[in-house]
Structure 1
């Protein structure tokens, strides 16, 4: 099938979930604009390229579609997944990958913006942060859930909430709590129970890890070096005998010789023979290889006396040769029979969601939305993912070596008219050729004036037009 016709079929499939038939035009125009090679993919420049002869009207309609129209983001993402997932190959395994991404912002009015850690900048700064989940296979991945993180100072401010249009049922939730709810929603819709991958920002949260286990999901999550575990061969004593009064004791006991250790101390006590060189995939220039060790441990939980005896799980340690200490640590509930190669491959599959963010931001304008409201922020992200989903499906069907699919729309889109002025541009100078001036006399030539007369600039009123934006 011709790629343009397939794109139209895709738009029709997505539009069936938007509610009103007249939203099909907004969907197609917006997604087309996101895939065009524009330096800035906010509403106005997209409108000017998609429909340059009616740029102002198109700008208004696209703005209404993304910022005001009440269509469902989860439904749109579900339909994107319905199109893409059938061409994904899960024969080698599937993964749910959780992460968040930041959008640096100026000012204090964009919904959810506050001073917080921004991964894009690598530091604390003014930004918005959104939590997402991607469904991944070996060859590709697709974001299937997306939600803005709402900080305390937004969640508890009724005035700001109303102005930004934040739904009443949205309350403060940590990023791990948002991710868990996204997974519950996906599983409730019949999604498969793939292994969950997340970085240490999520992995250090015991409630998050336990929540995954309660959902029946295996995980491979990053942790920090300070996480405390019971090392192999060291077990806590059983809880104190029940006295018959109150609740039965459940807290494992420790002694001076029976103590858990942090994973850094445990790793530094391992012999060199415990580590193996493992390769996991082809990189840009060479095959990626690292030095790893895997142990069966029990998490010791908190150190405040509330931890129960937890099941054993894998501790994966990544310690590059020549470095003074390990670089990364992971906890995993993959089966005890899992091979070290499988643990390493799963732990390093997180690069897929980073690639999603890279393509969405660089090629599909994910961070270019200029509105301030909750609905517009989520609508714009959903439409960026919709455009990404079509391109991902094309690449998966064509093979991993396919190229040139990002800007597949080679239709003859009319050029922007020369006299088009973007909204907010400085007023244009009126063409001097249409003004009737008293031309300055040539050098050496004398002009005659009637006594007392003043030279006047005579203007042709028909040469003036009022430009409204």
Structure 2
């Protein structure tokens, strides 16, 4: 079967979740536009390339489809996963990867925009931030859940919520709370209980780690150097006897010689022979390796070290030989007998989410949406992931290794008509009441960029399941 036929079948599969047949053309046009080699993939330039002879009418149609039509982005992501995930090989294990990504945005009316940390810029600035959950194997990874983080000032502003179309049921939730809800929803649908990976922005939250354990999920999550643990071989004293007044004590007793340490202090105290050079995978140019040590510790609570006694878990330390101190710390509940090289391999599997974001933003227009509303923001993201998912599936079918050259279906970009007038001219006006024209610059690929591989999945006969085996 030719790739174009598989694309038609893929769109039929996705269309079944749209609710109305008149939305099928919008899905095809939007996904096609996202896969074209355009420098910007907002509605107007995509419409002009997909249907150059009727650019204005197609612009209005695509704008309505993404910003106004009442279809579920959650159902769209579910159907993308049903197509792609069965094509992935989980015989060597699977991982849930939690992360968030930022979109620079000026003004204050685009939904969720506020001054906050933006990973894309590496600093605090005006931006939107979305939390995602990806399912990964050795072959690749796919975002299967996506939600905008709504800051407290937005959640409490009824006027802005109404104007941006924020659903009534959406309330303020931290990023860790959003991620946990995404996980719970997928597990309730029968998704597998794989190890969870996350960076220190999530890993430092003790309640987050405990919630993962309560769900029966092992984890390998980053923590900061200030997190305090009981070092290996140290058995803390039991809490003070209960006096009968107030709450029973839960914090282990301490003496001058019996104190918890920060993970940095513990790492600095280890002898040089505790560290080994480990290679965890082949990079695009050379093997990726580093210097690591792993010890069994008990978390002692935040930076102060005042918490109830926790079960033992792994502390993985990465300390480049050329650096004066360790660079990364990971807490993990993988089994006690897990070899060091496996701990390193699992912890470094989180790189896939960074690659997902890079490809989605640079190749599939994830950050190019210009609307201000909640619905359009989530619809555009789901469609970007849908386009990404199809090309992932094509790569899995072809059995191409991640990191190889693209072998995607070549799509010819239709030429613009001679009388085409770009957006901003009154000659071809279209509704723009909810468009944000104060856009921050977005990252775009140079024309000669060689994109690297994207990951993939297979259509499931079960309507709402992410089961992979």
Alignment TM-score > 0.5, same fold? yes
Shift of 1:151: 0.7
Native 8 Å contact 1:139 1:400 kept in 2? no
CA change 1:184–1:118 in 2 (3 A) is same
* Deviation per residue, 1:56-100 (Å, 9 max, x gap): 111111100000011111111010000001110111110000111
Range with bigger deviation, 268-277 or 300-309: 300-309
Deviations 1:284-341 (A, max 9, x none): 2110110000000000014779621100000000001121000100000000011101
Q: Distance in 2 between matches of 1:192 and 1:21?
A: 33
Taking the aligned partners of 1:166 and 1:247, their CA distance within structure 2 comes to 42
Structure-1 residue corresponding to 2:460: none
Structure 2 residue runs without a partner (length 5+)? 431-469
Does residue 62 of structure 2 align to residue 62 of structure 1? Answer: yes
CA RMSD of aligned residues (A): 1.6
Equivalences for 1:313-332 in 2 at 5 Å? 313-332=313-332
d(CA) in 2 for partners of 1:140, 1:277: 25
Offset at residue 235 of structure 1 (A) = 2.1
After TM superposition, give the deviation of residue 467 of structure 1 in Å.
Answer: 6.9
Q: Structure 1 residues 274 and 395 mapped into 2: Cα distance closer, same or farther (>3 Å)?
A: same
* C-alpha distance in 2 between matches for 1:368 and 1:120: 14
1:197-237 deviation digits (Å, cap 9, x = unpaired): 00010010111111111111000000110000000121221
Is 1:195–2:195 an aligned residue pair?
yes
CA distance in 1: counterparts of 2:429 and 2:108, whole angstroms = 29
Q: 2:141–2:353: 8 Å Cα contact kept in structure 1?
A: yes
What is the distance in 1 between the residues matched to 2:124 and 2:3?
43
CA deviations 1:218-276 (Å, max 9, x no partner) are: 00000110000000121221122234555433221112221101010000000001001
Q: 1:313 to 1:269 in 2, by over 3 A?
A: same
1:176-191 to 2 correspondences below 5 Å? 176-191=176-191
Q: Distance in 1 between matches of 2:90 and 2:168?
A: 38
Larger radius of gyration: 1
C-alpha distance after superposition, 1:79-127 (max 9, x if no partner): 0000001110111110000111110111111111111111111111111
For residues 417 and 81 of structure 1, do their structure 2 counterparts lie closer, same or farther at Cα, with a shift above 3 Å needed?
Answer: same
Q: 1:113 aligns to what?
A: 113
- Corresponding residue number in structure 2 for 1:35: 35
2:51 matched to 1:51? Answer: yes
Give me the whole-angstrom Cα distance separating, in 2, the residues matched to 1:268 and 1:301.
20
Question: Given that residues 239 and 252 in structure 2 are in contact (C-alpha distance below 8 angstroms), is that contact kept between their aligned partners in structure 1?
Answer: yes
CA contact (8 A) 1:80 1:389 kept: yes
Q: What's the counterpart of residue 345 of structure 2?
A: 345
Q: How does 1:47-196 map to 2 (within 5 A)?
A: 47-196=47-196
Equivalent runs, 1:263-412 vs 2, <5 Å: 263-302=263-302, 307-401=307-401, 403-406=405-408, 408-410=409-411
- CA distance in 2 between counterparts of 1:468 and 1:241 reads 76
Shift of 1:53: 1.3
Match of 2:228 in 1: 228
Equivalent residue of 2:99, what SS? strand
Look up the match of 1:443.
none
Whole-Å separation in 1 of the counterparts to 2:359 and 2:429: 37
8 Å contact kept, 2:56–2:428: no
CA positional deviation for 1:404: 3.4
Whole-angstrom distance in 2 between the partners of 1:79 and 1:88: 15
Alpha-carbon distance between aligned partners in 1 of 2:282 and 2:244, rounded to the nearest angstrom: 61
Alpha-carbon distance between aligned partners in 2 of 1:127 and 1:192, rounded to the nearest angstrom: 33
Q: Please, what TM-score do these two structures have when normalized by structure 2?
A: 0.89
Q: Which residue of 1 aligns with 2:441?
A: none
Query: Could you tell me how far apart the structure 2 residues matched to 1:169 and 1:34 are?
Result: 31
Cα distance 1:305–1:299, how it changes in 2: closer, same or farther (>3 A)?
closer
Cα distance, 1:414–1:291 mapped onto 2, change above 3 Å: closer
8 Å CA contact retained: 1:251, 1:305: no
Contact 1:222 1:330 in 2 (8 A): yes
Runs of 4+ in 1 over 4 A off after TM superposition: 244-247, 302-306, 466-469
CA distance in 1, matches of 2:382, 2:224: 33
**Counterparts of 1:404 and 1:105, CA distance in 2:** 31
SS in 2 for 1:395: helix
Contact kept in structure 2, 1:391 and 1:405, CA below 8 Å: no
**DSSP-derived class of the 1:162 partner:** helix
In the aligned structure 2, how far is the partner of 1:320 from the partner of 1:89?
A: 32
The 8 Å contact of residues 131 and 179 in structure 1, kept in 2 or not, is answered as yes
Deviation string 1:336-388 (CA, Å, 9 cap, x unpaired) is 01110110001100110101000000000000000000000000000000000
Match of 1:447 in 2: none
Aligned length: 428
**Unmatched 5+ residue regions in structure 1?**
428-465
SS of 1:185's partner is: helix
Task: State TM-score, norm by structure 1.
Answer: 0.89
Higher relative CO (Cα under 8 Å, sequence separation at least 6) belongs to 2
Contact 1:135–1:144 (Cα < 8 Å) also in 2: yes
- Contact persistence 1:4–1:409 (CA under 8 A): no
SS in structure 1 of the partner of residue 20 of structure 2: coil
Structure 1 contact 35–409 (Cα < 8 Å) conserved? no
SS in 2 for 1:22: helix
